[in-house]
Amino acid sequence: MLKQKLFDFVLFNFLAKDKANAEEVMEAGKGFVVPGIVASDFSNIEEGASKVKELKEVVDIVSIGLGGGGDPVFARRVLDIAALSNPGHINQPFENAVYAKGFIDGKGASPQLINALVNPSGTIGTVKLPTGSEVKVEEFVEIAHALGVESIKFMPLAGEVHLEELVYLTRVAAQKGIRGVEPAGGISAANIHTIINAIKDIEIEFFMPHIFGSTIDQVTGKTIPTEVAQVLHALEG
């Protein structure tokens, strides 16, 4: 996915307002970053695609998120932007992930790493699909792997509230051959060490926390480089 990962398995997803912000974030994150946008910020597909292309002038991979707290209503908008811009990584609700692969392939775009979003259920050993159905982690992961899903997004983590559920999911995902797990929601420099430490002994290709709210300047909409640096410092210090 990327040539380098912190501790050989950790990547970070931070939003980037523009090309300059992407460069700042990559520098502050020492290159262990997949910068991204969220589809909910763009009512015009071409505008979203243009932003991805702008960011790709300085980075190899851009992530297109749903936005709206992982709202499935933005799933098609993600795909339409991706089909025009070849971002490299896109977010989808689980039920849409396989369709998304076919859609992208059908548009003649380059292959994309597509994650499949599920929600915590509040019970270790089960996850909740965006439709509200609750399923056992083992069953979900087996189905996801059989369908060609490469990465599982888990949100909202709510900081450390659902951490044990995340650890269980990550362990099963690694055992079943899923390449990555991507938690999101309430992650910051204050808890990133605890989160990474909880899964550090699980052998998975990549683990990519999505860290938005705690690092974004609410006035400019830009990700704050010093906040990104603090996340790295919390792990390396």
pLDDT tens for each residue of 163-186: 999 999 999 999 999 999 999 999
Mean pLDDT of the chain: 94
* pLDDT value, residue 27: 97
This prediction's pTM: 0.95
R_g over Cα of the chain:
16
* pLDDT value, residue 121: 98
Buried b (16+ CB within 10 A) or exposed e, 89-121: bbbbbbbbbbebbebbeeeebeebbbbbbbbbb
* pLDDT value, residue 214: 83
Beta-bridged to residue 184, according to DSSP, are 210
Angstrom distance (rounded) from CA 9 to CA 223 = 23
* pLDDT value, residue 3: 56
Angstrom distance (rounded) from CA 193 to CA 198 = 8
Domains and CATH numbers, the chain: 19-236 (3.20.20.70)
* pLDDT value, residue 1: 53
Angstrom distance (rounded) from CA 139 to CA 141 = 6
Record the tokens describing residue 89, joined without a space.
Answer: 């990584």
* pLDDT value, residue 87: 96
pLDDT tens for each residue of 181-208: 999 999 999 999 999 999 999 999 999 9
Provide block-wise average pLDDT over 10 residues at a time, the chain (237 residues).
80 98 97 97 96 97 95 95 96 93 79 94 96 95 94 97 98 97 97 97 97 93 97 89
